[in-house]
Amino acid sequence: MTPRAVIIACFAAILGAAIATDLVARRAGSAVRPLSATLAAALRARGGRVLLLGAWLWLGWHFLAR
Amino acid sequence: MDPVRQAADGGQRPLSRRRAAVIAAVVAYALVAGVFRPFSNAALGAVLVAGIPLCWAGVRRRPRRAEPVGRRSAAVWLGVGVVAGAFELAVLLGPDDAAHPTLSLLADPLLDTYPGRVLGYLLWLGAGLWLVSR
């Protein structure tokens, strides 16, 4: 397996883990809340809003403009 | 029935004129911004012209009520984010070649095409609007 294939597999595994976690979190009785609910809770604080919106702006710059 | 109003959420919630206008504006923005290729001042301008006002509005806006989620949820999702960020950083700090691609390098073939960039701008702006509306 080439280094490139390993890196792509790792990115896919991280994405898969995030999707699986979100699906498990949406089941009744789960101790973990879905990503959307967690982000919404983080956005209640001004610090969380600054951090998340800053990350969002950086992602736009990095992927679309850089 | 008002042509703008359409069934959403199983026909229970109509699409408001305001929401339809926002969706139309986002699509129009993505169609125009997608023309600009990455690494250009025009692309930088397209990101900033939408990003700065949205960040400003999002920081100043009073947030909606949201249920607290508890430390376990915060820890789990923070953990996923840290693992993803650390891996991206490790790849970034490694050899700078096609054999060791970062996530942005992997996205380049998609973002080199106009439809790919339109999709990218749609996802990015959609995520920003979601964050600001919470």
B64 close contact with A: CB closer than 8 A: yes
User: Taking CB atoms and an 8 Å limit, are B103 and A3 in contact across chains?
Assistant: no
Q: Along chain B (134 residues), what's the average pLDDT of each consecutive run of 10 residues?
A: 48 75 95 93 95 94 82 93 93 88 91 96 96 90
User: Taking CB atoms and an 8 Å limit, are A56 and B127 in contact across chains?
Assistant: yes
DSSP H or E run through B126: helix B114-133
Work out the minimum CA distance from A10 to partner chain B, whole angstroms.
8
Query: Looking at residue B12, what is its pLDDT?
Result: 55
Residue B116 and residue B114: Cα distance in Å, rounded? Answer: 5
Query: Looking at residue B15, what is its pLDDT?
Result: 73
A42 has pLDDT over 60: yes
Residue B132 and residue B59: Cα distance in Å, rounded? Answer: 8
Query: Looking at residue A18, what is its pLDDT?
Result: 96
Q: Where are the alpha helices (DSSP H) in B6-69?
A: 17-33, 41-60
In this complex, the residue of B47, B69, B131 whose CB is nearest that of residue A61 is B47
A54 has pLDDT over 80: yes
In this complex, the residue of A11, A53, A59 whose CB is nearest that of residue B59 is A53
In this complex, the residue of A7, A39, A49 whose CB is nearest that of residue B58 is A49
Can you tell me the ipTM of this complex? 0.88
Domain ranges of chain A: 1-32, 34-66
Q: For tokens 């679309």, what's the residue?
A: A64
Beta bridge partners of B13: B8
Q: For tokens 């597999």, what's the residue?
A: A9
Q: Are A21 and B80 within 8 A, CB to CB?
A: yes
B51 close contact with A: CB closer than 8 A: yes
CB < 8 Å to B34, chain A: none
Work out the minimum CA distance from B3 to partner chain A, whole angstroms.
31
